[in-house]
Structure 1
Amino acid sequence: MTTVDFGVTEGLRSQERQRALVAAGKSQTLNSRHFTGHAVDVMAYTNGHGTWEWRYYEQINTAFQAAAQELGVDVEWGGHWRTLRDGAHFQLSWQAYP
């Protein structure tokens, strides 16, 4: 459970959309889990407005990981990536869900 209000902003994504995100520097891959529906991006909301403040995404991740553990699902958080950390991104792991 999280006290941070959030919503899914994007799930399944086209290759055209992904290419545009790479061109804009918002993604670094053309092999996205969004293509298969194995990923979602979320937006944190405070006082009715979207925010990119990192602390909220850390809290959302804590809730995602607790729920994933409870359900036995392997979820990866883009906030743990070494390059282009993406706090809004969550995906089912490549290993468990090829």
Structure 2
Amino acid sequence: RTCFGEDAGLGRLHRRLLARRSDAPEGSYTARLMAEPTRLAAKVTEEAGELNGAASRDEVVWEAADLLYFTLVRLAAEGIGLDEVERHLDRRERRVRRRD
């Protein structure tokens, strides 16, 4: 728990992944993905395909979680915080609203 509330969810996972950039335990799968961009790109592509092919609600949740994990690894590998992505989404929303 932090002064801002529960330390949970995507934010907590992303902060952990960012920390792995510089301080990964020996044999860390996350560190390996960050060190091998081609492998990471393949995992993102694979998981997106699996999400698209998911048939049940449980499968959609499972595959979405996988895709989010690998997406967060990619962001962390680039040193990009979730706040930057959120700001970008906010800007997009404002542009779309103006077109309506």
Larger Rg: 2
Between structures 1 and 2, the one with greater strand share: 1
Q: Does the pair score TM above 0.5?
A: no
Between structures 1 and 2, the one with greater helix share: 2
TM-score, normalised to structure 1's length? 0.33
TM-score, normalised to structure 2's length? 0.32
